[in-house]
């Protein structure tokens, strides 16, 4: 199984002939190596409805007939745009043909800001536990630190965790390092940093806060084999 990082919070998982894409913010993401026209995801998982995570989901899903997995309200909204969706809620899990998805809590905002100066409520933000081939990947989405991360780690041994470190909108490096500790993940990769001025961080300094061998900085396009 290949798991790759592509700037901001974009993560791609390739396994069993399937491509699963998390939070495909491509257009407008200066740190990504991806191009919308070249992507063919079978599954898109969206952690919440902010534009830098929902990103290019609609275009990608329509072009590739992708299954879009998100919280119930966001999935319903996307179904109204003509997408093939599967709605879930926090704490719920579902066994798909490619693997098991479970939504976890995340403490963050959720609304989509429109060009008409409106905010559309799009359900609870979430983290995601993706279990495939006996391995579990945790994409925390956008979140602050919360102690129930210990429960997530206790209930689900995590092989690879993607944690936001940007601060301002999410956990900063210090809180993310504590999150890594209570999650007990075998490997931790920082995400959601350096895309915009308010979230400038040094990911290598974050990795130095973790136990030896746990943290790994991935540049856009780099891959971890699980």
- For the chain, the DSSP string reads -EEEE-STT-EEEEETTEEEEES---TT-TT----GGG---SEEE-S-SSHHHHTTHHHHHHHHT-EEEEEHHHHHHHHTTT-EEEEE-TT-EEE-SS-EEEEEE--S--PEEPTTS-EE-----EEEEEEETTEEEEE--S----TTHHHHHHHS--SEEEEE---SSS--HHHHHHHHHHHT-S-EEEES-SSSGGG---HHHHHHTSPTTTB----TT-EEE-
pLDDT single digits (tens) 134-172: 999 999 999 999 999 999 999 999 999 999 999 999 999
pLDDT single digits (tens) 3-43: 999 999 999 999 989 999 999 999 999 999 999 999 999 99
Q: Does domain 2-220 have CATH number 3.60.15.10?
A: yes
Show me where the domains of the chain are located. 2-220
């Amino acid at each position: 199984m290949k798991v790759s990082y592509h700037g901001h919070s974009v993560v791609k998982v390739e396994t069993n002939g399937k491509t699963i894409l998390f939070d495909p913010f491509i257009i407008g993401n200066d740190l990504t190596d991806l191009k919308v026209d070249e992507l063919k995801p079978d599954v898109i998982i969206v952690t919440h409805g902010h534009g830098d995570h929902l990103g290019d989901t609609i275009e990608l899903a329509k072009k590739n007939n992708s299954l879009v997995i998100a919280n119930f309200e966001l999935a319903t909204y996307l179904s109204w745009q003509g997408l093939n969706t599967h709605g879930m809620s926090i704490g719920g899990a579902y066994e798909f043909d490619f693997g098991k998805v479970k939504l976890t809590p995340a403490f963050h905002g959720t609304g989509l800001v429109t060009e008409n100066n409106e905010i559309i409520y799009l359900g609870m933000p979430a983290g995601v536990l993706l279990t495939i081939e006996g391995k579990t990947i945790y994409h925390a989405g956008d979140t602050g630190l919360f102690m129930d991360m210990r429960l997530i780690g206790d209930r689900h041994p995590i092989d690879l965790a993607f944690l936001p470190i940007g601060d301002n909108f999410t956990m900063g490096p210090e809180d993310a390092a504590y999150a890594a500790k209570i999650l007990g993940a075998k490997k931790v990769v920082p995400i959601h940093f350096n895309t915009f001025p308010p979230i400038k961080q040094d990911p290598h300094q974050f990795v130095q806060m973790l136990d030896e061998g746990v943290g790994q900085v991935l540049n856009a396009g780099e891959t971890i084999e699980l």
